[in-house]
Chain A
Amino acid sequence: MGSTHEVTVDVNGRSRRATVAARTSLADFLRDELNLTGTHLGCEHGVCGACTVLLNGTPVRSCIMLAAQADGESVTTIEGLSDEHGNLNPVQEAFCRSHALQCGFCTPGMVLAVQSLVDTVEEPTREDIDEAIGGNICRCTGYVQIREAARSAVEEARCARAATGAGGAR
């Protein structure tokens, strides 16, 4: 028998305490313990990006991180982007508007990758967009619509900032 660990993880703004087995990945913890099945598992070795979540705001692969390593950290999953009524956030809206998904398997990872770009880079270039989603594999769309969604989300964030006069990205 392996060891078990008490963890406290902030998930989508809610503090969650649990006892996890050492070998439990963050992805399995989110999916199986917290029923947050929007985090998808494709390859389970860090290659496809379907399992991307934000760890303290930064995209990471939840399949190659242990749940125990997330103790004391803050995690945002795809479920954390929409509001309590299920209204989609601007990046998610941009994906819909741009027809940036077909089967939807890669979508949570893609959306979170773009969300992080919008949150952290003020004026992302086309290269920044490609870099942001470059580690995420999509088997359906051919990427053109995903790039378009990212561009649209970036543009919308820029307009929103201009309208509120906010000081820009973090």
Chain B
Amino acid sequence: MKPIDFHLHRPTTLAEAIALLAEHGDDAKVLAGGQSLLPLLNFRLARPEHVVDLGRLTTLRTTRRTTDGLTLGAMVTYARAEASRAVAEDAPLLAAALPFVAHKPVRARGTVGGSIAHGDPAAELPAVIRALDAVMVAAGPRGVRRIPAAEFFVGNLVTALEVDEILTGIDVARPARGTGAAFTEVGRRQGDFALVGAGAQVTVADGVVVDVRIALTGIAGVPHRATEAETLLTGVPPADLDLDAAADATRAVIAPSGDLHATADYRRDVAGVLLGRVVATAVERATGHAHRAA
């Protein structure tokens, strides 16, 4: 199908883009990479009168290293982020997740900010951003807001962004030395949205796990951070990690829904299995040693 007729705006400055959103409010939709919005327009599931394309806002396409981490421009494409050394070094969990997003042609256009603003609980980036406690920077007619990830993802495809706000960047804190990360997922076909995905970023210092962040996709209405498992794993020497207990702790608190593709029980079980695997691999990468089951 084809979209309904709409007015396309291609502003060249952020101020212009914000003014357009302020003017058109609910009748306007922001366009980033279009890899979610264009399908919605084509199916007429979205029927905005005005579409504000951020494609010409080149300032949103930069990745900047700061003293304590990384500022990713919202319009940085998945492909650019995947190729970035700064992302690999400062946000290893994000780097590990990127190759699992869709297929290459979608990653060529889709943006980091678009995925986060879309807020799909089955998507890789929102879950990873949640686990990393990243901060979303949003600009609107009332100024700039910094929104912590814990408050950003509100519901299925619902975020804390107001209709007249633009996500301009994402701040990710640089992890300490001795950090490793891993991501994996189970899906019907490679490149499709996964049934369940899991990612972990682990920091080991002085022989114990001092920081662990676990992201799960596809098992709740919002991206899930497995704090229940993180608590069990923190402060423990890598060789003594009880991954089965961590997996069971997560299985006990999540309530995935079942559908045509997989039952709720299957999703719950797989989430635990993947959690164990990514933590083991992340520990291995953090320490340079294979994780031995306790």
Q: Which residues does chain B contribute within 8 Å of A113, judged by CB atoms? A: 105
Contact with A along B175-186 (1 / 0, CB 8 A): 000000000000
Asked whether A46 and B41 contact (CB < 8 A) given A28-B2, A135-B104, the answer is no
Q: Is the CB of A23 within 8 A of B41?
A: yes
Q: Is the CB of A1 within 8 A of B108?
A: no
Q: Is the CB of B51 within 8 A of A22?
A: yes
Chain A residue at smallest Cβ distance from B55 = A69
Asked whether A134 and B190 contact (CB < 8 A) given A2-B5, A22-B7, A69-B34, the answer is yes
- Near B by CB (< 8 A), chain A positions 60-92 give 60-61, 63-66, 68-69
Contact with A along B102-125 (1 / 0, CB 8 A): 111110110000000000000000
Contact of B34 among A44, A52, A65 (CB under 8 A): A65
| Measured CA separation A58–B102 after assembly (Å) | 15
Chain B residue at smallest Cβ distance from A45 = B39
Q: Is the CB of A64 within 8 A of B6?
A: no
- Near A by CB (< 8 A), chain B positions 228-267 give none
Interface residue tally for chain A (C-beta within 8 Å): 31
Q: Which residues does chain A contribute within 8 Å of B4, judged by CB atoms? A: 2, 23
- Near A by CB (< 8 A), chain B positions 6-37 give 6-10, 31, 34-35
Interface residue tally for chain B (C-beta within 8 Å): 31
Q: Is the CB of A23 within 8 A of B108?
A: no
Contact of B8 among A61, A63, A64, A68 (CB under 8 A): A68
- Residue A106 at the chain B interface, CB threshold 8 Å: no
Chain A contact residues, majority secondary structure? mixed
- Residue A164 at the chain B interface, CB threshold 8 Å: no
| Measured CA separation A5–B7 after assembly (Å) | 10
Contact of A135 among B2, B10, B191 (CB under 8 A): B191
A30 to chain B, nearest CB (A): 15
- Residue B82 at the chain A interface, CB threshold 8 Å: no
* Residue among A1, A58, A130 with most chain B CB within 10 A: A58
Q: Is the CB of A46 within 8 A of B8?
A: no
Q: Which residues does chain B contribute within 8 Å of A45, judged by CB atoms? A: 38-39, 42-43
Q: Is the CB of B105 within 8 A of A49?
A: yes
Q: Which residues does chain A contribute within 8 Å of B42, judged by CB atoms? A: 25, 44-45, 63-64
Chain A residue at smallest Cβ distance from B106 = A46
Q: Which residues does chain B contribute within 8 Å of A64, judged by CB atoms? A: 34-35, 38-39, 42, 109
- Residue B69 at the chain A interface, CB threshold 8 Å: no
Q: Which residues does chain B contribute within 8 Å of A22, judged by CB atoms? A: 5-8, 51
| Measured CA separation A35–B186 after assembly (Å) | 41
Chain B residue at smallest Cβ distance from A117 = B104
Q: Which residues does chain A contribute within 8 Å of B109, judged by CB atoms? A: 60-61, 64-65
- Near B by CB (< 8 A), chain A positions 6-27 give 21-23, 25
Q: Which residues does chain A contribute within 8 Å of B191, judged by CB atoms? A: 134-135
Q: Is the CB of A46 within 8 A of B38?
A: yes
Q: Is the CB of B55 within 8 A of A23?
A: no
A52 to chain B, nearest CB (A): 6
Give the B-binding residues of A (Cβ under 8 A): 1-3, 5, 21-23, 25, 28, 44-46, 49, 52, 55, 58-61, 63-66, 68-69, 113, 130-132, 134-135
In order of increasing CB-CB distance, the 5 nearest A-B pairs are A135-B103, A2-B5, A22-B8, A64-B38, A45-B39
List, sorted by A's number, 23 A–B pairs whose CB atoms are closer than 8 Å: A2-B8, A3-B7, A22-B8, A23-B4, A45-B42, A52-B105, A58-B108, A59-B108, A60-B109, A61-B35, A61-B109, A63-B38, A64-B35, A64-B39, A64-B109, A65-B34, A66-B31, A68-B8, A69-B53, A113-B105, A131-B104, A135-B103, A135-B104
Q: A66-B38, A135-B106 are in contact. List 12 more A-B contacts (CB 8 A).
A: A1-B5, A23-B2, A23-B3, A25-B2, A49-B105, A55-B108, A58-B108, A59-B104, A64-B38, A130-B190, A132-B104, A135-B103
